[in-house]
């Protein structure tokens, strides 16, 4: 959350697996360079996020995280916008002991 709120794309990107899937707009999964470009553009708006984990489940090197989140940002026209949802995320534990998003679905809808 600190990297997100600081607009630090490079640090934030390191918390995703190479093949991560992100569904920041319901029904529009993004991977690879498309995911990175979308995230970089979104962070350029200066969003601020708060998040509260609701539940987490871990089995081996895989975790499921359910989180309530709110993002205060601006839309494409510069108008203030409040986004919120219940995220459903799948994380994988790397060999370096860092948990990384394999699936980032902030609206929990796929």
Q: Rounded mean pLDDT of 18-43?
A: 95
What confidence tens digit (pLDDT) does each residue in 32-59 have?
A: 999 999 999 999 999 999 999 999 999 9
| pTM over cut 0.75 | yes
What confidence tens digit (pLDDT) does each residue in 1-17 have?
A: 999 999 999 999 999 99
**To which residue do tokens 């679905």 refer?**
105
Report CA 6 to chain centroid distance, whole Å: 14
* DSSP three-state, residue 95: coil
Where does the pLDDT of residue 110 fall: very low under 50, low under 70, confident under 90, or very high at 90 and above?
low
Q: Rounded mean pLDDT of 62-77?
A: 95
Residue of 35, 34, 11, 31 lying closest to 19 (CA atoms): 31
């Amino acid at each position: 959350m600190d990297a997100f709120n600081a607009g630090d794309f490079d640090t934030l990107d390191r918390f995703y697996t190479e093949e991560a899937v992100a569904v920041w707009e319901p029904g529009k999964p993004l991977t690879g360079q498309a995911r990175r470009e979308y995230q970089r553009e979104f962070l350029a708006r200066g969003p601020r996020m708060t998040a509260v984990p609701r539940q987490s489940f871990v089995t081996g090197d895989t975790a499921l995280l359910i989180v309530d989140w709110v993002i205060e940002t601006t839309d494409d026209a510069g108008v203030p916008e409040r986004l919120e949802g219940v995220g459903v995320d799948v994380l994988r534990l790397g060999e370096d002991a860092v948990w990384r998003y394999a699936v980032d679905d902030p609206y929990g809808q796929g």
